[in-house]
Every structure is written in C-alpha cells, then in structure tokens.
Amino acid sequence: MTRTFWVGGNWKMNGTTAAIKDLVNTFNAGSTASDVEVVIGAPYVYIPLLADSLRKDWAVAGENCYVKPSGAFTGEISPEMLADVGAKWVILGHSERRNVIGESSEFTAQKVVKALEAGLKVVLCVGELLEEREAGTTQTVVNSQLDAVIKTIKEADWVNIVIAYEPVWAIGTGKVATPDQAQEVHAAIREYLKIAVSSKVAEETRITYGGSVNGKNCKETAQKPDVDGFLVGGASLKPEFIDIVNATQ
C-alpha cells in the first residue's frame, strides 16, 4: 500500500501573534503537493489564531495535553479543550516532555488514550538519548516507549496515530541521523509493530522522522521506504517548511 506522506511542524515554546500572522501568510501562499498531509503544532495560546487563519488543507495540533477532560488541574489543558478551539491533532511523548519534564512512557500512554477518546489524532514521539545509542540500546528504548501505548489502546486505534521517531541527540543540535540510520530504526519499528500488534497496523502506520530536519537535508531521507514524513522543529518556523512539505516532489 501507499502511505500518505505526513509532515508536521512543532513550534515548541515559540511565536508571537505578529510573527505567526506573517508565517501563516507565507504558508497560505505556498504551493504544496496535494498528496501530503500537513499539521502545525503550536503553543496552546495560538491554536485559535491558527485554526481561524491557516489554510484549510492543513490541520492544527496541540503540543501536549492532560489525562482528564476538566477539573482542578491548574495549568493543564485537556484534549477536549484542544478540540474545542480547533485542534485536530496532539503531539505526545516528545523527548522534551520525557527528559526535561520527566513524564513516563506510562503517563504518555494514558494521554494517548484520552486524546483518542476526545476525537484527536495523535503524533506519538519515541526516541533514544545519545548514551543509549552509543550503548547499542536504541531499539530496546524505542520498543519500551511503544509498548506502553500498545498495551493501552485497541488495534483499531492505530489508524489515528502517526509515530515520530526522534533521536534525542539530533533534536535542535544540528546533528541529523543519516538517511540510512533513520531507515534502519523505522524498519525496526515497523517490524516490532508487526510482532506486537499486527501486520496490518505495521503496514499502514506512518512512521516519520524528526531531528534537525531542514529544507536541505530532507529530500534524501524522504526517499527511504519506511520514512513516511517528518516532524519538524525549528525549520517549521521558517518559510523553508514549504520545501520540507514538498520533499517528495
């Protein structure tokens, strides 16, 4: 089967109203392939602005959510709230949530369940630290992160999940996994899904790469058979994001 290429932007804790309006104007005027699914992840406070102004063939994502629909959880945002203000997706399990904030794989899995229940689609991030790669435990780490989710959702739920493999040592560092390194891990993830879930899920689930992706280095990686797109950090705040969206063209 042919998996629809998927490109997401993750703005992290960046942006101002003025800068976002300018960037949206650039994105809206850009010429992009019709066979690529595009999602922009933005800080909570800018989601309504994006939902109202961004081109309608692109979707908006929250960058995180909590595990309850409402209640006394000061500072948290529920998946229902994200959906209410126009988000269609949410990014969960990003390495900065895991390794800076200290969220566990089990907590991430709970968020995945609640986000899906609220009608959101999920970008599930997995990836290893530099010391884990150097120790040869990349796949053990990634499989463990996947396991927490595999154990908590139904097979049918995978149709609403995109996996983003993001080696932590390549995020914001300028270092990029080589196309062969990305392909190797993506193929291993697909094989693990086949074993742990089903052949159907393994074949249909899109596995994207993230980690210092830019307009210059994306094209070769995009050609790899198990790379189904990108989750883009810093470059998604620049006009060159259009070039990444068009990486397969």
Determine which one of 37, 94, 103, 132 is catalytic: 94
Residue 240 known to be catalytic: no
Determine which one of 37, 103, 132, 166 is catalytic: 166
Residue 94 known to be catalytic: yes
Q: What is the 3-state secondary structure (H, E, C) of the chain?
A: CCCCEEEEEECCCCCCHHHHHHHHHHHHHCCCCCCEEEEEECCHHHHHHHHHHCCCCEEEEECCCCCCCCCCCCCCCCHHHHHHCCCCEEEECCHHHHHHHCCCHHHHHHHHHHHHHCCCEEEEEECCCHHHHHCCCHHHHHHHHHHHHHCCCCHHHHHHEEEEECCHHHCCCCCCCCHHHHHHHHHHHHHHHHHHCCHHHHHHCEEEECCCCCCCCHHHHHCCCCCCEEEECHHHHCCCHHHHHCCCC
Residues with a known catalytic role: 94, 166
